[in-house]
Structure 1
C-alpha cells in the first residue's frame, strides 16, 4: 500500500514544470467549475432560480450595461425607491463583474463566474497549508476538502451573490497576514470590503484577531515606550478602515439611495430579532448585555437547528478548527447574528451567508492540524488525523451536499432538478412575449424575463412582513402599467392567487391569451 511519504514524493515530482499536486489542484478546480456551473445552469432552466437573488443581479447588470441605469432593478421598489442595488448593498465589486456580463449578457455568465470564483479559494487554502504544514499531500487534502465542503457547495447552488468572492479574498488575506506581506494583506481586505457593507464588521474582527496574534509584542511595545514595529499598527489600521468604510456605506445609501421610511424596519430586519427586541442588527451586542434572558431565549429559538448548523460547518473539517480557536475571532460577528436570529435562513445551509466564515473555519482547521504536526514532527505521525479529516469530509459530502441523493430525496423542491413537460410549456409561453415588453411575473420566472427595464415580480418575500399592504399596493399599481402578466399556479400559488384577486377588483384590463397544463400556466395581455 502506498504510504503518505511515497505519495508526498510522487506529488512533488514535476510535470510540465508544475508539481503534480498543483496540477491535481487545478484539475480539481476545473472539474468543480464544470460540474457546478452545468448543474446550476440546468437548475435555472428548470425554473429553480429566483428573483431573490439571481434576477436582481441579472436585471441590475443588464440595465447598467444596456439601459444607462445604475445597477437598477425593480424587485424591491417599495423598499428601495431608487431601484439601485446600491440602495440595498454597497457592492462596488460588481464593477469587476460588469465587463464580463456586458460581453456575455446571459444568466449562464453569472453562474459560471460564481463556480469559478468560489472554487478558486482552494488555491490560497492550498498555499496556506503548504506554507505552514509543509507537505503537498496535506495541502491538497485541505484544498479538496474545501471543494467538497457542503457550505461552499450550498452557496454555489443558490442563485448568484456578491458574497461569493469572500472565501477567495479572505483566504488570501489570511495567507498574506501570516506571511506579513502587508500591502497584499490590505489589498485583499479592501477587495473583501468591496463585496458588501456588512463585511466591514467581519474585517473589524479581523483587526481584533491580528491584535490578539501580536498581543505580546504590542504589550511589550507599550511598556518600553520605544520605537514600534510597523506590523503592530496593522490591527489598528484594519479596525479604523473597517469603521470608516462602514460609515461611508451608510452615508452613500442614505444620501443617494434612501430607503422608504415606511419600510425601514423591514429593511433593517427587525422581525429577525423580536425576542431580543433589536430594531437594528447594530443594537444586538448592547441588548445581549442589557437583556441576557431575552438573549438566551433567542439563542434557544430553533436551538436544535442552530446546533446542527454549527455541526455541519465544523464537522467536515473534523473539528480541527477549534484547536486554533483564535482564528475564529473574525466569525464572532456572524455567529452572534445568526444564532440570535429567529430567521431560519440565518442558521441553515442553503444561502450565501456562510461565505462570511468559510475562510476562517478552513484556516483555523489548517493551523489546528499544524499544532498536532508540531507536537509529533512527522507526516507518518499525523496520518491518523489526516484520515479523520478525509473520512469526515467524505461523510458530510455524501450525506448533506446538495448533490447528495439523500438531500435530493428529502428536499426535492430545493435540490432536485427536473425539466419536464410543464417546464417546456412554460418556455413556449415565454417565447410569445416580446423581448422589450413590460411584464409582471412571479419569483421563479423573473430571472427568465429580467433582461429589460420594465420587468416586475410579485414581492412574495414581503407578503408576510410588516409592509404587506405596501407590497400589495405595489403589485396593484404595477398591473396598471404592464403589458403582460405571467403566473404559474403550480410553482407559485401565492403569487397567482394575489394576481387573480387583484384582477377581480379592477376594471377588465387584461385578456387571458394562453392557458397551459390544466390552467396552471396563465398568460394575460393588456387589452388594446
Structure 2
C-alpha cells in the first residue's frame, strides 16, 4: 500500500476524531491568539521564551536579558531548537501559540487510538477523545501564554500508542522529544519506563523488546534529569537554581530536603493533604474523568513524579489545574482512566457471563445489550463529570487571581491602537524596558527588560533598568505592579536621568533618554503625579524594599552638579543645596527640583518637604509636597552627617505667563502644618520658605 493510500486510510478510520481535533484546535488557537493580541499575555514566561527562541534563531544561542543571561541556566529546553527554525520562517509569537494549540488538540488522536484498542469501541474512544479535549486543564494550559512543556501531552500519548502497536523506535523518538522539553521530564520518563517493563506486556509481541524499551527509557530519563539538574544547569547559571527556594520548607538544601522526606514522611503528608489548595487540586484533576483513573493505580502512578514535585512546592500555582505544571500529569490521568474503564468493562462482562442460565433467556441480558448499556452508561458518566468540571472551571472565563499567578482572558484593559502607534516609533533592535502585557509583543530584539520587575527591584538603581527606551502604560498595574515604586521610577527617569516623552496617548507612554526637550513630557509627568496623589503613593510596600529604595537617595557629599547653598532650619536640619533638572524653562515643561538635606542629630518626627514656584506677586503657580525621597527615606531614618537627595517634580502650568518666577523650599510637620523656621535671618525667605533661585519662563521651542 502506498503512502498516499496509508494516509487516506488513516483519515477515513479517524475521520470523526480528526474533525473534533480540527474544530478544537481552531478554538484553542483562536482564543490564545486573540488573548495575546488584546495585550493579556505576559513577559513571564511568554516574553522570555519568545526572546530566547528569537535570539537562538539569530545565532545568540539561548541568550536572554530578562531573568538570566543564559536561559539554559534557568530551564534546559532543547525543544527551543526546532522552534527557532520555525522563527526563522515566521518570527511572530503567534506562531508559538499556534503550535501549542495544535499539539494540544492533536493529542486526542493517539488517545482515541489507545481507548479504541483497550475498550474495543469507537463510541467510547470518541467519548474519551472528547473528554480530553474538554478537560479543563487542557484549556487552561493553552490559555496561559506559551510553554513548550505542554507539548509532552502529545508526545507521551504518541509514545504510548506507538509502544502498544510494537513500534519501539518511533515511540522512543517521541520520548526523546518529551525529554528535551524540560529538565525534569526524565523523571516522568523513568516512571513510564517502569510501567512499560512491568505492566504494558500484552500489546507488545516480544517481551524482550518490551523489557529493553522500558529499561532504556527508565535509565536514560533518570540519568538525563539528574545530570541536567545537578550539573549542567548550575554550570550555566553559576550556582544552584532558584527553583529550590520553592521547597525551602523541607530544608535548607537538597540534602536537608531529602532527609525530611525520608525521616518525616508523616509530617510531609499531613502538610500536603491538609492544605485546601492541594486538596482542591487533587479533586479537580480526577473529577472530569469521573474518577475512573483510580481504577488503574499503576498507570496513574506514572504521574507520581510530576505530581510529587508539584505538590511539594510551596508555590500555589504548581498545585493547580490552571498552569503548565499539569502537562506531564494529563496523559496518565487519561491512560489510567481508559485502563480503569477497560477493567470495569471486563468485570461487568464477567458478571454477565456468570448469570445463572436457569433464569432463562428473558431474565438474562445478552452480551451485546450489556455492551451497549456499558457504552452509553460510560459516555453519560464522562459527560456528566465533564459538565460538572466546566461548571467549576471554565477555561475561557474563569478568573484566575490570588493565591495564584494572575492569568487574564479576553478583557481589553489597554488601548491596542495607542500601543501600536508607540511601538512604531521604536527602532527594531533598540533595548527597551516595558510592561508585562507589552513585553511579548516587543520580544524580537536582543535586549528586553521589564520597567517594573519585582524580582529585580534591588538589583537596579532606583528600581528600573536605565535603557534608552521605555514603553509604558501608566494605569496598567496588573501582575502586582507596585504603584508607589512604579510612579516614583517614572518621575526619577524624567527628573534625574533625562527621559523625554516621544508619545503619550490613552496613558500609553514612550520615553527616550535624550537631550532634546519633547512637548509631551510635562503632561506625562503631571499624569504620573496625579495618579500618585490619587492613591498610588499609598501602595503597600515591604519594609526591606522601602529601606533599599531609600538608600538610593543617600550620599556622602553634595554632588558636583548641585548648587551649594546651606540653609539652616530648626531641629538641626540643613538644606545643603539644590539642583534643577532644566536649564531652560517653558510653560508645560516638567521641572524637578532636587533638595539635598542634612541633619546634625537624629530626628523623632517625620517631616514633609515642599517646593513652590511663585509669581512676583507671591502667588503659588505650582508646588510639590512630599516626604523626602518619595517617602522612601523619611526624616526619622536620617543619620547625622549623611545627605539625603529629595526630588520634587511638577509640570509648569501650560498657560503660565512668560517672565520671572521664584523657587522656594521648606519643611514642615504634617501633623500640625507648622513650618520649621529658618535659623539664619540673612537668607531670603517668605513665611519660612527659603528662596532658592529665580527662573525665567521663556517661549517654548516646540511647536
The bucket for the TM-score relative to the shorter chain is 0.7 to 0.9
Matched with 2:514 is 527
Relative to structure 1, the CA distance from residue 505 to residue 421 in structure 2 (aligned partners, 3 Å threshold; closer, same or farther) is: closer
Deviation for aligned residue 1:145: 0.9
Deviation for aligned residue 1:98: 2.2
Give the alignment partner of residue 511 of structure 1, picking from 491, 500, 507. Answer: 500
Within 2, Cα distance between the matches of 1:254 and 1:268?
Answer: 10
Relative to structure 1, the CA distance from residue 242 to residue 167 in structure 2 (aligned partners, 3 Å threshold; closer, same or farther) is: same
Question: Given the alignment of the two structures, is residue 454 of structure 1 paired with residue 447 of structure 2, yes or no?
Answer: yes
Q: Which runs of 5+ in 2 are unaligned?
A: 1-7, 350-369, 516-703
Contact 1:40 1:157 in 2 (8 A): yes
TM-score, normalised on structure 2? 0.63
Deviation for aligned residue 1:390: 1.6
Contact 1:162 1:195 in 2 (8 A): yes
Q: Map of 1:146-161 to 2, 5 A cutoff?
A: 146-161=132-147
Deviation for aligned residue 1:370: 0.5
Within 2, Cα distance between the matches of 1:94 and 1:421?
Answer: 31
Relative to structure 1, the CA distance from residue 46 to residue 196 in structure 2 (aligned partners, 3 Å threshold; closer, same or farther) is: same
Matched with 2:265 is 292
Higher relative contact order structure (alpha carbons within 8 Å, sequence separation ≥ 6):
1
Q: Which has the higher helix share?
A: 1
Deviation for aligned residue 1:407: 4.8
Matched with 1:311 is 283
Deviation for aligned residue 1:195: 0.9
Deviation for aligned residue 1:357: 0.7
Matched with 2:61 is 70
Contact 1:63 1:69 in 2 (8 A): yes
TM-score, normalised on structure 1? 0.82
Deviation for aligned residue 1:61: 1.9
Within 1, Cα distance between the matches of 2:482 and 2:427?
Answer: 22
Deviation for aligned residue 1:448: 1.2
Within 1, Cα distance between the matches of 2:100 and 2:427?
Answer: 29
Relative to structure 1, the CA distance from residue 403 to residue 386 in structure 2 (aligned partners, 3 Å threshold; closer, same or farther) is: same
Q: Map of 1:39-118 to 2, 5 A cutoff?
A: 39-66=31-58, 68-77=59-68, 83-118=69-104
Relative to structure 1, the CA distance from residue 229 to residue 33 in structure 2 (aligned partners, 3 Å threshold; closer, same or farther) is: closer
Q: Map of 1:5-16 to 2, 5 A cutoff?
A: none
Within 1, Cα distance between the matches of 2:438 and 2:252?
Answer: 35
Within 2, Cα distance between the matches of 1:205 and 1:101?
Answer: 34
Greater C-alpha radius of gyration? 2
Matched with 1:438 is 431
Relative to structure 1, the CA distance from residue 370 to residue 286 in structure 2 (aligned partners, 3 Å threshold; closer, same or farther) is: farther
Matched with 2:328 is 356
Q: Which runs of 5+ in 1 are unaligned?
A: 1-15, 78-82, 217-226
Relative to structure 1, the CA distance from residue 409 to residue 63 in structure 2 (aligned partners, 3 Å threshold; closer, same or farther) is: closer
Q: Which has the higher strand share?
A: 2
Give the alignment partner of residue 396 of structure 2, picking from 388, 399, 403. Answer: 403
Root mean square deviation, CA, Å = 3.1
Deviation for aligned residue 1:496: 6.0
Question: Given the alignment of the two structures, is residue 253 of structure 1 paired with residue 233 of structure 2, yes or no?
Answer: yes
Matched with 1:231 is 210
Deviation for aligned residue 1:363: 0.6
Contact 1:270 1:278 in 2 (8 A): no
Within 2, Cα distance between the matches of 1:113 and 1:490?
Answer: 33
Deviation sequence 1:407-450 (CA, Å, 0-9, x none)? 59999x73441336633323332222222322111222111111
Matched with 1:183 is 169
Deviation for aligned residue 1:499: 4.8
Matched with 2:19 is 27
Deviation sequence 1:247-296 (CA, Å, 0-9, x none)? 442444344x2x144xx4xx33243223322534x865542222335414
Within 2, Cα distance between the matches of 1:162 and 1:260?
Answer: 24
Query: Across the two proteins, how many residue pairs are aligned to each other?
Result: 479
Deviation for aligned residue 1:141: 0.8
Deviation for aligned residue 1:485: 1.1
